[in-house]
Amino acid sequence: MADLVLRAARIDDDIDPVDIAVTDGLISEIGPGLATTAPEDIDCAGRVVIPGLIESHVHLDKAFLDAERPATDGTLAGAIAITAELKRGFTVESIKDRARRVLDLAIMNGTTVIRAHPDVDPIVGLRGVHAVAELREEYRGMIDIQIVAFPQEGILRAPGTLALLREALRAGADVMGGCTYNERSVPDCRRHIDLVFELAAEFEVPVDMHADFADDASDPRFAMADYIAEATTRAGFGGRVTLGHMTSLAGRTREDRTATLARLSAAGVAVVPLPATDMHLGGRADTTNARRGIAPIRELWAAGITTAYSSNNIRNAFTPYGNADLLDIGLFLAQTSHLAGPADLTRVLAMATTEASRVIGIADSYGLRVGARADLVVLSATRVAQALLDRPDRCYVIKSGRMVARTTSTRQLLPAAHAVH
Ligand SMILES: [Zn+2]
């Protein structure tokens, strides 16, 4: 006997619906018409079941700051400056209060794993890391949380940060972060990257950096991808390095960026576009034909680069939108990146599931397969390729075999509607 069985679950548009049995938090059987019984038996009736969604890049500590101070100029520099001021007033409790709102929404929207990037710098110290580490315990069994030690203010530019990063890694951060462009010169950006790799090697953790976040590469501090590819190979970190944003790639010539993408691919560097932020902050100086400002998704795919997408921020100066809903962001990415049709849309959905699991290093225990952790979401859609288009309900959200959220909604077209004019 299993603990839970999902009946008639659509997991692939090319095969008939299957049953999924869950035992001891893991998927124990998948197949048509399973004989296995379980105390919890759910008829999916052909609805789509996906593995739990993964937010591979989100700033829990800075969420919902728009209520305290709305964005002003809409630029990256402006967002960093406003947030730096607000950070001075952060307490562990105030961070947790805002972050809980994100976590609750994320769980209800089908997210089962989050990689959070709390700031670590002399302004906020380790309050962000401590707050997220406490939430990791509070939410255990509901959602898994990885912690990236993120030097938003730079490392060389903000003296004292290096020691704080080391403390953050000792205090439970799982990943070494970076903000490669927030230094004063290209040599400092390179030194920043070298320091990130040195600390990652010292603490034996993966690397996840914000990089090349500009409209184009005219300021060379925003064109560090090639140097990062080199540093990754030098450090033997292939498969353990992720870069967020990478928007300036789209502003380079095709020939130039194709060469850079080939280097990133060969070095084993993953890329995570953050479309809600990238579109909002990008193209601000363009007076005609404002650019889209998102890394070239189809070219990332073609280069064989592991590519996920994520929310980045929820309602602050960087991104004054968001409900911690990865299907919402996925549809937005498709709409803004010329991605359409069943093959593209299925791939976009995979960017928030299986590809994201590779980005954050949990692929071994993840997915719709026997032996994987039973993180599952039942959607109200009936075709995988239309899951983004349908904006479906997350009917059931299952974390490690346990139901953690449920959505029931009713829509009704009233018969009288046609008669009223
Ligand atoms: Zn970010």
Per-residue model confidence as pLDDT tens digits over 37-79: 999 999 999 999 999 999 999 999 999 999 888 777 888 888 8
Cα(404) to centroid(ligand 1), Å: 27
Cα(385) to centroid(ligand 1), Å: 28
Cα(367) to centroid(ligand 1), Å: 25
Q: What is the pLDDT of residues 180-195, one digit of tens each?
A: 999 999 999 999 999 9
Residue 74: predicted pLDDT:
84
The tens-digit pLDDT sequence of the chain (421 residues) is 999 999 999 999 999 999 999 999 999 999 999 999 999 999 999 999 999 999 999 999 999 999 888 777 888 888 888 998 999 999 999 999 999 999 999 999 999 999 999 999 999 999 999 999 999 999 999 999 999 999 999 999 999 999 999 999 999 999 999 999 999 999 999 999 999 999 999 999 999 999 999 999 999 999 999 999 999 999 999 999 999 999 999 999 999 999 999 999 999 999 999 999 999 999 999 999 999 999 999 999 999 999 999 999 999 999 999 999 999 999 999 999 999 999 999 999 999 999 999 999 999 999 999 999 999 999 999 999 999 999 999 999 999 999 999 999 999 999 876 665 5
Structure-token pair, residue 137: 């315990």
Cα(256) to centroid(ligand 1), Å: 25
Cα(244) to centroid(ligand 1), Å: 7
CB 236 within 8 A of CB 267: no
Cα(117) to centroid(ligand 1), Å: 7
Residue 314: predicted pLDDT:
97
- Strand pairing category for 394-399 and 376-379: antiparallel
Cα(359) to centroid(ligand 1), Å: 15
Give the whole-angstrom CA distance, residue 144 versus residue 211: 25
Give the whole-angstrom CA distance, residue 345 versus residue 367: 18
Cα(213) to centroid(ligand 1), Å: 10
Residue 34: predicted pLDDT:
98
Cα(333) to centroid(ligand 1), Å: 16
Cα(228) to centroid(ligand 1), Å: 17
CB 366 within 8 A of CB 354: yes
Cα(222) to centroid(ligand 1), Å: 15
Cα(418) to centroid(ligand 1), Å: 48
Cα(240) to centroid(ligand 1), Å: 18
CB 341 within 8 A of CB 383: no
Cα(60) to centroid(ligand 1), Å: 10
Cβ contacts of 363 within 8 Å, gap of 6 or more: 354, 357
Give the whole-angstrom CA distance, residue 188 versus residue 228: 13
Helix (H) or strand (E) holding 133: helix 127-138
CB 175 within 8 A of CB 149: yes
Cα(383) to centroid(ligand 1), Å: 32
Cα(294) to centroid(ligand 1), Å: 14
- Within 204-284, where are the H helices? 225-235, 254-267, 275-281
Cα(303) to centroid(ligand 1), Å: 23
Q: Can you tell me which residue has the tokens 């993953």? A: 270
**β-strand partners of 125:** 121
Residue 70: predicted pLDDT:
77
Amino acid identity for residue 255 in this structure: E
